[in-house]
Structure 1
Amino acid sequence: MGKPTTTRRTSIGSQRNPASEEAILQAAQAILLEGGLQAFSIEAVAKRAKAGKPTIYRWWPSKAALLLDVYHRQKDGVPHPDTGDVREDLVQFLAGLMGFWRDGGGAIFRSIIAEAQSDAGALEALQSYVLSRCLQTGEILRRGQARGTVRNDIDPDLVIELFSSFAWSRLLTSRLEVTRQQVEQIVSAVVDGVAAESQHQ
């Protein structure tokens, strides 16, 4: 009998092959969840996905870029609601984020943060990602400004960082068991400080 052959997924140049992309992302996610950042490497992902390292580096120029892609595709399930009420939108968003992290997404994001402490490329990728997320979530407050329920002199993206600070603190200290009541208290503390005068009456 001849030596068994290993099926290898092929790429199609700079254009991503959907099957290969999915295999790489699934392999990266599995490695992170099973072994954490210590077990994660482009070599390990390539071996598990049966893909070439040049393909991975062509599509993801750094390990951090691949980490963020894995994380981002999972995070699509975090709600960005538009109920017409800023307070309720923020509660649903923050509770959804904490739940997503508690259910496994937090392990990957902690890995990204850890990587950013010693790798300039990872830090740059993380900074870009955080800014884009603050911009997206800031829409909740911008909608409130348009409705006249949030003061126009506040910076929505900056205020959103207050919620990020709470969430990151809980993530990095493994305290993700948060009740809706606790989330409501956090949201109220911030919203009461940015609400238009008519909202306090």
Structure 2
Amino acid sequence: MAEEADTARRSIGARRNPDSADAILEAAEAVLVEGGYAGFSIEAVARRARAGKPTIYRWWPSKAALLLEVYQRQKRVDIPDSGSLEEDLVGFLKNLFAHWRDTPSGSVYRSLIAEAQSDETSGAALAGYATGRRTHNSQIVDRAKARGEIADDIDSEVVADLIGSFAWKHLLTNRLDVDEATIRTAVGYVTRGIVTPRR
């Protein structure tokens, strides 16, 4: 036990030690690359980072919480600002699909969503993350309001949910090679509606 304490990285309590936290996150990324989601465990991360499991659980209360932070560190999805709501939403979805398709992030996020269906802690971590992302992504709609492109009473977060549900469906069914024409059609239905105005 004393030997483990000597070799483990030091914790400074509930507040993270930046060096230790970075080492744990880097170890988590390496474990994920080597073993995939199925081979990922807090034990494996602790061994690689030379950190105690209690330290990891103090800063990340669950495996899902740690994986979500790894996912966020890897996520590089540009949010366009073209001056057009439709073009911005299409560009965002194209960037998101490419990121999920071309990096390990897509399979990690898909696995997290699956685990959240049966694990309450994972579900809570995912729900917290999704709420934050919805608020972040709704800035596309907020910019369109500021330009006068859409009405002020449009609920930005509902629009973000509609676009997000299209993305999640393709992620969960592993259909990330969706073409631009399909993306444009979906975005057009959201931005322009599908009901013909009555005369």
TM-score (norm 2): 0.86
Residue 78 of structure 2 aligns to a residue in which SS?
coil
The CA distance in 2 between the partners of 1:31 and 1:180, in whole Å, is 34
Match status 1:97 vs 2:115: no
Match status 1:130 vs 2:139: no
Match status 1:9 vs 2:9: yes
User: Equivalent pairs: percent with the same residue?
Assistant: 54
What residue is the counterpart of 1:82 in the other structure? 81
The CA distance in 1 between the partners of 2:183 and 2:7, in whole Å, is 49
Residue 39 of structure 1 aligns to a residue in which SS?
coil
Shift of 1:73: 1.4
Matches within 5 A, 1:31-42: 31-42=31-42
Matches within 5 A, 1:66-77: 66-75=66-75, 77=76
Residue by residue over 1:14-48, the C-alpha shift from the partner in whole angstroms, topping out at 9 and shown as x without a partner, is 33232321221122223233333322221111112
**CA-atom RMSD in angstroms:** 2.1
Bigger drift between 8-17 and 99-108 goes to: 8-17
Structure 1: gaps of 5 or more residues: 1-5, 195-201
Q: What stretches of structure 1 move > 4 A for 4+ residues in a row?
A: none
What residue is the counterpart of 2:192 in the other structure? 192
From the superposition, tell whether residues 84 and 151 of structure 1 become closer, same or farther in structure 2 (CA, over 3 Å).
Answer: same
Structure 2: gaps of 5 or more residues: 1-5, 195-199
The CA distance in 2 between the partners of 1:82 and 1:158, in whole Å, is 20
What residue is the counterpart of 2:150 in the other structure? 150
Residue by residue over 1:162-194, the C-alpha shift from the partner in whole angstroms, topping out at 9 and shown as x without a partner, is 211111111111111123333222222211129
The CA distance in 2 between the partners of 1:15 and 1:184, in whole Å, is 45
Opposite residue 115 of structure 1, the aligned amino acid is E
Match status 1:166 vs 2:166: yes
The CA distance in 2 between the partners of 1:151 and 1:74, in whole Å, is 35
The CA distance in 2 between the partners of 1:49 and 1:137, in whole Å, is 33
TM-score (norm 1): 0.85
What residue is the counterpart of 1:197 in the other structure? none
Match status 1:54 vs 2:54: yes
The CA distance in 1 between the partners of 2:167 and 2:34, in whole Å, is 24
The CA distance in 1 between the partners of 2:15 and 2:145, in whole Å, is 41
